[in-house]
Amino acid sequence: MPAKSSIFRNTVFRKLFSAQLIALAGTGLTTIALALLAFEIAGEQAGQVLGTALAIKMISFIFVAPIVGGLIQPQFRKQMLVWLDIGRAGCVVLMPFVTQAWQIYVLIFVLNACSAGFTPTFQSIIPQLFKDEEDYTKALSMARLAYDLENLLSPTIAAILLLVVSYDTFFVANAAAFVVSAGLVMSATLPAVSDMQDHSLSAFNKIRQGFDIYRKTPRLMGMLLMFFVVSAAGAMVIVNTIVLVRVQFGGDESTVALAMSTFGFGSLVAALMVPRLVKRLGDQAIMRRGGWLLGVMLLLAAYVNQFELMLVTWFVLGVGYSLVQTPAGRVLRRSANDDDLPKLFAAQFTLSHACWLIAYPAAGWLAAQLGFNTTFLIFGLVALVAMFASQQLWQTDDPAQISHQHEELYHDHLHYHGPHHQHQHEGWEGPEPHQHPHKHEAVMHTHNYVIDGHHTEWPARTN
């Protein structure tokens, strides 16, 4: 049997992945530079400035992503990605000239509004590059690795660079990274996608389509609860590591970096394992294991009383974190048609960040009011309840192909002639895809089931 070719033989993926990697490297430096800028402007109030900036980031993610995902026309995806990269470059290149906190907030909102449009659109292209599930899984794993490597390496690279340059240089470097990313996207030939959007729909209804697919697909609602568990675990690590290490275990800044790196290393290891695990066990089984692992480790974290045990706990939390997130793109791909993927990825982007918007303040506030042990117990119990509810929504018996009955239907929408459209024409209807009133005969058939114009509700389960 011939060996499978590397996913990097796909020229478009190679260019898009390089664009992602370069942009992430620049963003990692900007994150550190932003903290230093906040301290220069606000001094001891820098934490408050950064906390507000983080909240603004989440809000821009939540509200902008569905608008872009709903309104983008497939034939203009490349141009939009390029302009969003240029917009991001413009924001960060202005950062060195900031003198007041409100200016940081404005730039952070615009910067992350561009990212909220860029990221889900970028993610929706990848599944169209790989029809082979194994190759797509490897591509998802590489994307996860890119994020983990950025989290692991950016602090180290920044520390070395700060020995010879000022932090303002990081903003310039990130602007250059976004420009390079835009050039790589521009040079890539994206896969063609037919514009099958119903142009009679209002802007609001187009934006809502991704959320409609999401809420009507049981596996996606089950997956959303898993992402709530991810946000609970991630928020406890990101928000409280510094206080736990410095106050409870008496560590210093390097000890904090070690703890965060251990969490990132666990995530990286799991991302490398996912392609083989998914092949053996399937998406749902891997994601469930990751979710249950996160819930159990949050409970156990309440009883950690040594720094070494904390490192073990953080590593395992990193493993669970990646086991849930890495296969998610596969689940999204099997839950929508190609032309609806940008809307669905945008809905996933928005809903998952809404979970973080809840988890971030809860992790900080509860730890301050109730203490770390009680907060870990609360988060662990909530995570386990969420996992139980997830399994009720996304049941083990979840076939891609579902037998279902269509009643006789008469309607009007943009369509090609295929399994759902075999009808008479009078000659005026024009070339496909075209739109005209037509009738669907009653039919019972089986195929890969997704929510779309012909399947507006999930079929009831039959025992």
Give this prediction's pTM. Answer: 0.76
Q: Is residue 266, in this structure, part of any structural domain at all?
A: yes
Per-residue model confidence (pLDDT) at position 194: 57
CA dihedral 404, 408, 411, 414 (to 10 degrees): 40
pLDDT tens digits, 4-46 = 457 888 898 899 889 888 888 888 777 777 767 777 787 666 6
Strand 443-448 with 434-440, pairing = unpaired
Residues 242 and 354 in one domain: yes
Q: Taking residues 113-136, what's their average pLDDT?
A: 82
Residues 389 and 411 in one domain: no
Residues 71 and 85 in one domain: yes
Residues 244 and 313 in one domain: yes
Q: Taking residues 450-463, what's their average pLDDT?
A: 64
Q: Are 259 and 383 in contact (CB under 8 A)?
A: no
Residues 225 and 239 in one domain: yes
pLDDT tens digits, 93-104 = 998 898 888 888
Strand 434-440 with 409-415, pairing = antiparallel
Higher pLDDT, 2 or 252: 252
Residues 252 and 171 in one domain: no
Residues 224 and 151 in one domain: no
Residues contacting 354, CB < 8 A, separation 6+: 58, 62
Q: How far apart are CA 235 and CA 302, in angstroms?
A: 15
pLDDT tens digits, 344-368 = 888 888 899 899 888 888 888 888 8
Domain boundary among 370, 398, 426: 398
Domain boundary among 160, 188, 216: 188
Residues 338 and 447 in one domain: no
pLDDT tier for residue 169 given thresholds of 50, 70 and 90: confident
Q: Is residue 194, in this structure, part of any structural domain at all?
A: no
Residues 301 and 217 in one domain: yes
Residue 370, domain extent: 205-398
Domain boundary among 188, 215, 241: 188
Q: Is residue 199, in this structure, part of any structural domain at all?
A: no
Q: Is residue 335, in this structure, part of any structural domain at all?
A: yes
Residues 301 and 390 in one domain: yes
Per-residue model confidence (pLDDT) at position 335: 83
Q: Is residue 2, in this structure, part of any structural domain at all?
A: no
Residues 141 and 108 in one domain: yes
Q: Is residue 3, in this structure, part of any structural domain at all?
A: no
Q: How far apart are CA 217 and CA 298, in angstroms?
A: 29
Q: Is residue 314, in this structure, part of any structural domain at all?
A: yes
Q: What is the DSSP letter of 438?
A: E
Q: Is residue 1, in this structure, part of any structural domain at all?
A: no
CATH of the domain at 249: 1.20.1250.20
Residues 332 and 270 in one domain: yes
- Tally of domains in the chain: 3
